[in-house]
Structure 1
Amino acid sequence: MDEAFADGWAWWVIAIAIGFPVLLVGITELLGALRRRNSPLAGPVAILRNWVIPVGALFALLAFALQSPADQVWVRVVATVFGFLLILLVLSAFNVVLFSNASEGSWRKRIPTIFIEIARLVLVVVGLAILFSWVWNADVGGLFAALGVTSIVIGLALQNAVGGVISGLLLLFEQPFKIGDHLDTGGVKGRVIEVNWRAVHIDTGSGIQIVPNSTLSGASFTNMSEPAGPYAAAADITFTTDDPPHEVVALLVDVAEGLPLRLPREKVSVQYSGKGAYSVAIPVASPADASRALTVYLSWLWYAARRRGLALDGDSTDPIAEPARLDAAIDALAPHLHLDETDRELLRTSSRLERYGAGETVLGTGVVPDRVHFIVDGAVTVALEVRGSRIEFATAERGDLVGHTALTREPSKAVSTAAGMLTVLTVPLETVDALVRARPRLAADIGELLDMRRAQATEALAARGLTINALTER
């Protein structure tokens, strides 16, 4: 027994027999605590408990307790496995320390996963080479030389393909754009839906355009989604030089502010360049909304310009202004308004036909109307604006009127919008007053309509648990 302790192997046996179970119990408790906190350190600790410590104990038993010769095959095999597990443990720990808790926007967060995997592979190969050289006395110099020559040959043969991959990796590392951003590469404009090693996939709205990474890395492009914040949908618009600029600017702003895609609390910008040229910038949430906003804006602007007699693109004529159409509209409305020939002549001399595009606001909330619109063709949706949303409660159709609060000189509590293409007979307040005085039945019909709209509004609010006071909480 004294000889066993003198040789030292007995101490190793005792240390392994006692220390190995105790160490496993302690690390198991630590691992459980880390997993309960969802800590990324649980991964390296699991490798340490499940693999490194058991194999390390086996190696210590063979090499130190049993004092097996170092050149014995089983000792070398266990030493190789133990060294490989140590390499994996160190790499796992470094990965957790460097990248698991990286903050957003930091260089550690921006490094693509493929870079980390390649670096890990290189370190594993180098570590194994050193391990085999130390344990098995292997000559790895020739292996590295052969790998180097092979890499050069493969690189020269695949330089075009590899160049695209490298360009993709550089783009992934730099991250000048991300999924969902809108790019303008000069020839392609759209939203990024995929980025891989070889190419970027861009949704142009009419298909998916594949742009090679080498093309993007070697040319300039515009990330329309940066910087973060409102995006301006811009349009260049031309009127004639006879149109007063202040009236045109007011028209451009009024139409833009009514767009549903315009960002609230953001101002519309209009610049006058002279010679009838104007530039409009409408704030929208993203480039994806720009084309839709401009489509609606330009169509609404066509109708609004002709209603105001301004020459958009050099033309202010509107076929709806033909006298024959006005006569036909008055004849169609005569039964609804109880008109005689004298009343019809009054309307011919004082009223006019106007058109609105789908979705245009005919009468806004809080406006005291100075005219009344009788619907000739189409329909109008009547809604209440409550806390940033609209509650539709009525629809006005042919023969109905919009702006009946003009008779009571009260501001409108509802917003009226064109449900589609809309044609109205616009009558000044003075003419309506004259018709009402001459036609008591018309006054009664308007009064009944006003009472019905109020009842419908109150019912729509009550259905949502609101009262009329909610209209002031916009």
Structure 2
Amino acid sequence: MKYPLILGFGIVALDVVVWRLRVPPNELIRLFIRLTLFSALSAVLFSSGLNPFTQAPDAAAPELHWLGQIVEIIWWLMGARLLTLSLDTLLLPSTWRKQRLFSDVFGAVVFLAAVVAALGFVLALPVRGLVATSGALAIVLGLAIQSTLSDVFAGIVLNTTEPYSVGDWVMIDDVEGRVVEMNWRATHLLTGQGNTLIVPNAVASKGKISNNSRPANVHGLSLVLEIAPEARPRTVLEALRRALTGCDIILNAPAPYAHMKRTTVNSVQYEVVAFVDNMDKKLAASNELFDLCYRHLASSAIPMRALGVPAPVESTHDAKEALLKRVSLFESLTGDEVKRLATRLSRHEYQEHQVISAPDTVPDSLSIVASGVLSVKFTEPSGEREIARVGPGEAFGEAGLLAGLPMRVSVSTLTPSVLYQLGKEDMTAFLKDHPEVARQMCQLLASRQDRLGKLTTPIPEDHETHQSIFQWLVGKVWHQHSLHDEPHGPSSRQ
């Protein structure tokens, strides 16, 4: 064969082009092309007398001799790389390929063997002495990098036993995050704060590992609450069960539950356990569930207590006033206004699964939930669909009472409930004495127009184009309640 060196280096250059430019894009096809090029290089070398298992000929021509040595060494390294790629692409499971540990370790071993073989066969160096020297050097290096070697072998154990894989949500000791990478040294976690945390494999193999992604689509969360020991456990557990019922983010199966966990000197600890189907919902579900527990406990007159802190001195508060202060609609009221409005509230009790408000009706009163869980449902052509659950401290019917807007949803109880209602006449009498409160309520309703679109009919477009939603609501309230002062323009409270 003429010019074998030129042909051999040409094949090597073509392989480099396929490798660096990643053409074609398909990994398997690219591997077979490179294997074909390696076979062609082997045929060129063996047919021209350039045997990679012996020194290159043409010792009389040093330039040709060294070029032959180089192409034979390239043959060994190229074969080592293709052997690693073949194992990685054709034999290793997909999960092992993502973790890269086995392919990296195997590639390092194969490359080391290829280098030793090239030194022994192509360059005819004394491999035995080199191996003996490298063994002593390996001992010295092993002592110097023993922590790194510990991570490597721990990584092999983790990849073999597979307590977690890339994409899983795990907790390693007290660190929680999603596994984004596993390599020969460490596991990379993406934490809930968006930071990357690197856990050495030696630490992970010795720590407690909790895999929140197994079994799939079921992830638990728990809240520990400290309650005053004077509170009756049955009352506390019923309030916590109502809180679990009111949280529509959590799963119904496995069933959530609440139980008494332990007692301390100053309090009794209760644990609330629930489950979600996606780890991304865990934070939102925990926050919502804690808020619901707080509200349902408050509706049962059960105070929560800071961990290990003695009970504060009890002070008496009117239940109606305390309820009004928790309603966002009345956040702007002063203490005297809250006290006056509380005297106009009437108490109503409802049994389980009782309809409180039907669709397309204009509520004649504002309903404030004192205890219990209510379901808000919207009727579609395919049937009823629950869009929200209402708990203590939440109100509904305010748009109908203030502006005469009808509701297009139905509201019914899921548990026995207690509601306080404020009728139209009482609201009108209150607003006549406090018209500035009406403006602030209209401003709040205007800012919550997204919720108005869900819980009531959309605001009509019959107002003038230059008129804002707030101005339109103010006009409707003034007309609805026959208020006498000027409804337009902003006002400030002294």
Please give the TM-score of this superposition, normalised by the length of structure 1.
0.56
Deviations 1:59-86 (A, max 9, x none): 379xxxxxx9776556755664564454
* Equivalent residue number for residue 256 of structure 2: 268
Q: CA 1:305–1:69 in 2, change beyond 3 Å: closer, same or farther?
A: closer
Q: CA 1:318–1:171 in 2, change beyond 3 Å: closer, same or farther?
A: farther
Q: CA deviation at 1:231?
A: 0.9
C-alpha distance in structure 2 between counterparts of 1:159 and 1:179, whole Å: 26
Look up the equivalent residue of 1:307 and give its one-letter code: S
> Is the 8 Å Cα contact of residues 223 and 271 (structure 2) preserved in structure 1?
yes
Look up the equivalent residue of 2:143 and give its one-letter code: L
Q: CA deviation at 1:251?
A: 3.4
Instruction: Kindly tell me the number of residue pairs found equivalent between the two proteins.
Output: 366
Q: 1:233 pairs with 218, 221, 246, which one?
A: 221
* Equivalent residue number for residue 123 of structure 1: 113
SS at 2:274 equivalent:
strand
Q: CA deviation at 1:149?
A: 1.9
* Equivalent residue number for residue 321 of structure 1: 319
* Equivalent residue number for residue 297 of structure 2: 305
C-alpha distance in structure 2 between counterparts of 1:284 and 1:46, whole Å: 53
C-alpha distance in structure 1 between counterparts of 2:94 and 2:248, whole Å: 34
* Equivalent residue number for residue 470 of structure 2: none
* Equivalent residue number for residue 64 of structure 1: none
> Is the 8 Å Cα contact of residues 236 and 280 (structure 1) preserved in structure 2?
yes
* Equivalent residue number for residue 379 of structure 1: none
Q: CA deviation at 1:458?
A: 11
C-alpha distance in structure 2 between counterparts of 1:238 and 1:87, whole Å: 69
C-alpha distance in structure 1 between counterparts of 2:153 and 2:161, whole Å: 12
Q: 1:427 pairs with 398, 407, 421, which one?
A: 421
* Larger CA deviation: 90-99 vs 270-279: 270-279
Flag the structure with higher helix content: 1
* Equivalent residue number for residue 157 of structure 1: 144
Q: CA deviation at 1:157?
A: 3.2
C-alpha distance in structure 2 between counterparts of 1:165 and 1:197, whole Å: 5
SS at 2:49 equivalent:
helix
Q: CA deviation at 1:115?
A: 0.8
C-alpha distance in structure 1 between counterparts of 2:95 and 2:187, whole Å: 23
Matched, 1:42 2:30: no
C-alpha distance in structure 1 between counterparts of 2:49 and 2:177, whole Å: 60
C-alpha distance in structure 1 between counterparts of 2:96 and 2:195, whole Å: 34
Q: CA deviation at 1:457?
A: 9.1
Q: CA 1:426–1:401 in 2, change beyond 3 Å: closer, same or farther?
A: farther
* Equivalent residue number for residue 223 of structure 1: 211
> Percent identity, aligned pairs only?
18
SS at 2:458 equivalent:
helix
* Larger CA deviation: 106-115 vs 116-125: 106-115
CA-atom RMSD, angstroms?
5.7
* Equivalent residue number for residue 5 of structure 1: none
Q: CA deviation at 1:383?
A: 8.8
SS at 2:140 equivalent:
helix
Q: CA deviation at 1:128?
A: 0.7
SS at 1:45 equivalent:
helix
* Equivalent residue number for residue 421 of structure 1: none
C-alpha distance in structure 1 between counterparts of 2:57 and 2:178, whole Å: 66
SS at 1:456 equivalent:
coil
Q: CA 1:208–1:148 in 2, change beyond 3 Å: closer, same or farther?
A: same
Matched, 1:413 2:410: yes
* Equivalent residue number for residue 347 of structure 2: 351
* Equivalent residue number for residue 458 of structure 2: 456
SS at 2:410 equivalent:
coil
* Equivalent residue number for residue 173 of structure 2: 186
Look up the equivalent residue of 2:203 and give its one-letter code: T
Q: CA deviation at 1:125?
A: 1.4
C-alpha distance in structure 2 between counterparts of 1:200 and 1:325, whole Å: 50
Look up the equivalent residue of 1:281 and give its one-letter code: V
Q: CA 1:119–1:35 in 2, change beyond 3 Å: closer, same or farther?
A: same
Q: CA 1:108–1:130 in 2, change beyond 3 Å: closer, same or farther?
A: farther
Look up the equivalent residue of 1:295 and give its one-letter code: N
> Is the 8 Å Cα contact of residues 256 and 268 (structure 1) preserved in structure 2?
yes
Q: CA deviation at 1:124?
A: 1.1
* Equivalent residue number for residue 296 of structure 1: 288
Q: 2:87 pairs with 98, 105, 110, which one?
A: 98
Matched, 1:144 2:100: no
SS at 2:255 equivalent:
coil
C-alpha distance in structure 2 between counterparts of 1:254 and 1:425, whole Å: 15
Matched, 1:368 2:370: no
> Is the 8 Å Cα contact of residues 200 and 213 (structure 1) preserved in structure 2?
yes
* Equivalent residue number for residue 243 of structure 2: 255
SS at 1:233 equivalent:
strand
Deviations 1:297-353 (A, max 9, x none): 2222222222244555599988452679988448559xxxxxxxxxx7xx46x439x
Q: CA 1:109–1:396 in 2, change beyond 3 Å: closer, same or farther?
A: closer
C-alpha distance in structure 2 between counterparts of 1:118 and 1:264, whole Å: 50
Q: CA 1:140–1:44 in 2, change beyond 3 Å: closer, same or farther?
A: same
> Is the 8 Å Cα contact of residues 164 and 212 (structure 1) preserved in structure 2?
yes
Q: CA 1:121–1:453 in 2, change beyond 3 Å: closer, same or farther?
A: closer
SS at 1:351 equivalent:
strand
SS at 1:117 equivalent:
helix
Bigger Rg, structure 1 or 2: 1
Q: CA deviation at 1:46?
A: 2.9
C-alpha distance in structure 2 between counterparts of 1:282 and 1:411, whole Å: 32
C-alpha distance in structure 2 between counterparts of 1:305 and 1:69, whole Å: 91
* Equivalent residue number for residue 467 of structure 1: none
* Equivalent residue number for residue 283 of structure 1: 275
Q: CA 1:140–1:123 in 2, change beyond 3 Å: closer, same or farther?
A: closer
Q: CA deviation at 1:245?
A: 5.9
Please give the TM-score of this superposition, normalised by the length of structure 2.
0.54
* Equivalent residue number for residue 463 of structure 1: none
SS at 1:283 equivalent:
strand
Deviations 1:353-394 (A, max 9, x none): xxxxxxxxxxx9994359953579xxxxx9958797969xxx
C-alpha distance in structure 1 between counterparts of 2:234 and 2:320, whole Å: 28
C-alpha distance in structure 2 between counterparts of 1:167 and 1:453, whole Å: 57
Q: CA 1:53–1:227 in 2, change beyond 3 Å: closer, same or farther?
A: same
